[in-house]
Amino acid sequence: MKPKLVEMDKVIEQIHGHLTADPTKRTVMFVLGDHGMTDSGNHGGSSPEEVNTAFLAISHPHLDKQSPVKIEMINQLDIAPTISSLFGVPIPQFGIGKVVRQLLDGRVSDSVLCTLLHNNLVTLSKQDPLVKLQTFQNCQTCTKDCKKCIDQMEKELQSSRERLSGQYGTFNIPVLVLCLLVSTVVVSY
């Protein structure tokens, strides 16, 4: 596995070199995986080595004067809304993730962060009727008390994601068994 990691390090270094060759171009490079791997090369299981993966975001040092951010854990659900927000494109319609605030703190103004988080809430409210969107109407165009709005929206985003995640991972076993029995009877005739 070590030779593969060394090879990939070189590939990433080459790509980064090309992307940052011109300090006037705004670039961000994301390096991430869809799964981890054990030391023996196995993947697809449920061990921490297999379900955890690295996430690296690199920008040009001339563009990003902020200190590097180290976040111990990012939920995969949160990657799409965060990258969408960084690029200024809409958050995927059926995503249930939330913008990773730590990656944006200090890199965008509080009023922009308020707008991004509000947009994230709007997206989630289409799937989660319990989102209290009306509570955050003033946060959409935040001019004062932005930190308070940001903190409140963060809590609401987290609550919504937990509710939605629970829906997608919960199954009604009696209904599934009944459907299986009905489909077995139908197929046998």
Digit-coded pLDDT (tens) for 79-138: 889 888 888 888 888 888 888 888 877 777 888 888 888 889 989 999 898 988 887 777
Amino acid code (one letter) for 136: F
Q: What is the model's pTM?
A: 0.69
CA–CA separation, 57 and 69 (whole Å): 9
Amino acid code (one letter) for 70: K
The predicted structure's pLDDT at residue 188 = 60
The predicted structure's pLDDT at residue 143 = 64
The predicted structure's pLDDT at residue 137 = 73
CB 104, CB 85: distance < 8 Å: yes
CA–CA separation, 2 and 187 (whole Å): 51
**Mean pLDDT score of the chain:** 80
CB 66, CB 106: distance < 8 Å: yes
- Using alpha carbons, select from 65, 77, 56 the residue that is nearest to residue 12: 56
Question: The dihedral of CA 106, 116, 158, 91: what is its sign?
Answer: negative
Hey, what are 64's tokens? 């990003």
CA–CA separation, 3 and 9 (whole Å): 10
Q: Spell out the alpha helix ranges (H) of 20-109.
A: 48-51, 79-87, 101-104
pLDDT (mean) for 56-85: 76
- Helix and strand counts by DSSP (H, E) for the chain: 8, 2
Which parts of the chain are beta strand (E)?
Answer: 28-32, 55-59
Hey, what are 96's tokens? 């249930």
> Above 60 in pLDDT, residue 142?
yes
The model's confidence at residue 43, banded by pLDDT at 50, 70 and 90, is confident
The predicted structure's pLDDT at residue 169 = 59
The predicted structure's pLDDT at residue 22 = 81
The predicted structure's pLDDT at residue 10 = 93
